[in-house]
């Protein structure tokens, strides 16, 4: 087994992971696997696969995770939520994923069944929240567990202190790292991280980076999840409504600049929200001087997704 490569941006070493989501149709499935093939050559530390909204169905997630485990050598994490399931049902799902070879999970509470913005209450007989789920996962197996974190506060949290208290409960119950909601202001992240450390949380907190595929859609999504789109971001896109190429270049520049700024602050582990698209993600990596490792002569594909006949 080869070690995870460490890349450098302006002489700053860093590692990263990618997030994907299950496709909804055949075209989306083709796009997903094209993106996985294109990005897997960068040998991420791990990849994660999300659930649908409200954990509407675990089957699509399981199908993607199963294929990743069978056809690639990518360390693969499945998201796991507690909504709409009893403790026994959630445990049964965990066992199903474990038996398929899953050793990594991203433990989340999940959105309320009524959708973002509706009131949440634990499912009768189910896990109470993500911290409770972390404890349950550790009881079932020695899994690698990531959890969520919110530099700009989860929309349902009373305040940042309550938000960080929940993160501490997840860490205390055995979480290995936290992956943040996307953000665009590095000062916000640094202030949040300082508060997290003051609270006694010592697990790695990986910044979630979202290269902007579509600014209008992102603004709508950000409004639901409590993330802020700073004025300086919107200003960079001004006058580009009819210039797709210009928007692409700006998006790649913005993400690379944000990442370089984090590297300059000593943040060396990152989590990328790919939106199942590889072109923009690769452009960002190239701006940082990241080159895909070349396999040694005669070596097999790093992923196995594309096998020669």
**What is the pLDDT, as a whole number, of residue 8?**
45
**What is the pLDDT, as a whole number, of residue 41?**
94
Active site residue 249: no
**Residue range 169-198, pLDDT digits in tens:** 999 999 999 999 999 999 999 999 999 999
**What is the pLDDT, as a whole number, of residue 295?**
58
The list of the chain residues with pLDDT below 70 reads: 1-12, 52-56, 114-118, 294-309
Dist. CA 140–CA 37, nearest whole Å = 32
> For 113-141, what is the HEC assignment?
CCCCCCCCCCCCCCCCCHHHHHHHHHHHC
**Residue range 218-275, pLDDT digits in tens:** 999 998 888 999 999 999 999 999 999 999 999 999 999 999 999 999 999 999 999 9
The terminus-to-terminus CA distance of the chain in angstroms comes to 24
**What is the pLDDT, as a whole number, of residue 116?**
64
Under DSSP, is residue 160 helix (H, G, I), strand (E, B) or coil?
helix
Cα R_g (the chain), whole angstroms? 19
Burial of 38 (0-12, 13-18, 19+ CB in 10 A): middle
Q: Which domains does the chain have, with CATH numbers?
A: 7-287 (3.20.20.220)
**What is the pLDDT, as a whole number, of residue 58?**
85
Q: Of the residues 19, 43, 45, 152, which is catalytic? A: 19
- Give the HSE-up count for residue 262: Cα atoms under 13 Å, Cβ half-sphere: 30
């Amino acid at each position: 087994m080869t070690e995870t490569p460490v890349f450098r941006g302006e002489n700053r070493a860093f590692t990263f992971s990618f997030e994907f989501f299950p496709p909804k149709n055949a075209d989306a499935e083709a796009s997903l696997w094209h993106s996985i093939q294109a990005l897997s050559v960068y040998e991420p530390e791990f990849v994660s696969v999300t659930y649908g909204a409200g954990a509407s169905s675990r089957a699509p997630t399981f199908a993607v995770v199963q294929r990743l485990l069978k056809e690639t050598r990518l360390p693969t994490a499945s998201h796991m939520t507690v909504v709409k399931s009893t403790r026994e049902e959630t445990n049964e799902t965990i066992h199903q994923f474990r038996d398929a070879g899953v050793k990594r999970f991203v433990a989340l509470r999940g959105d309320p069944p009524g959708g973002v913005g509706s009131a949440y209450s634990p499912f009768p007989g189910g896990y109470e929240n993500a911290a409770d789920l972390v404890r349950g996962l550790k009881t079932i197996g020695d899994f690698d567990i990531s959890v969520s974190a919110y530099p700009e506060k989860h929309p349902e949290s009373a305040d940042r202190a309550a938000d960080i208290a929940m993160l501490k409960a997840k860490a205390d119950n055995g979480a290995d790292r936290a992956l943040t909601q996307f953000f665009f202001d590095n000062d916000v992240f640094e202030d949040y991280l300082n508060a997290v450390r003051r609270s006694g949380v010592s697990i790695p907190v990986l910044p979630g980076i979202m290269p902007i595929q579509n600014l209008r859609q992102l603004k709508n999504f950000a409004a639901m999840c409590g993330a802020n789109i700073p004025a300086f971001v919107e200003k960079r896109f001004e006058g580009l409504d009819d210039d797709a190429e210009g928007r692409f270049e700006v998006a790649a520049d913005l993400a690379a600049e944000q990442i370089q700024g984090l590297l300059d602050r000593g943040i060396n582990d990152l989590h990328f929200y790919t939106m199942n698209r590889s072109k923009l993600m690769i452009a960002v990596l190239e701006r940082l001087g990241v080159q895909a490792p070349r396999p040694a002569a005669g070596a097999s594909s790093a992923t196995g997704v594309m096998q020669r006949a």
